[in-house]
Structure 1
Amino acid sequence: MIGTMDETRSARVTRADVREALMWALERDRAALLAHRAAVHSSKSELTRRRADKVLVEQWRARTPDSSKGGSPRE
């Protein structure tokens, strides 16, 4: 699947995105935080961690309208 440059960029998961998503989950979605933690700690695989990061960031982006602008999704 080929997307536009903006679509490709917005789908990329950066360390900053993961950090913001973790902070969001810590404050607002404990179940998402615990699911991420369980996935990361159940395996030492880098691929598993990246997949868990991606899932968490996707949840954060879906639930916070400001997350796509690169800002903190705080209210």
Structure 2
Amino acid sequence: MTDADMFGELVQYWEDLGDRERRVLREVAGRLYMGQKAYGELSPGKKKWCREALEEAMDGMVYLGAALQDLADEEKSQ
């Protein structure tokens, strides 16, 4: 698939998505961009991708747990 084909496909997706989905897609694209600037392109064999994803998911659970504690503390103080 050429770059032009992929871009056309992305444009079609963009047009069919709602506002909230577009915002999510923009956030994902921004994260990809920041990651590429910091670490380079996503190259095959560069990392153990499955392990990396699992570790990131675990980090996300920690952050969500902390956010839940913050919300609980806020509710107690009201």
TM-score, structure 2 normalization? 0.33
Q: Identify the structure with the greater helix proportion.
A: 2
Q: Which has the larger radius of gyration?
A: 2
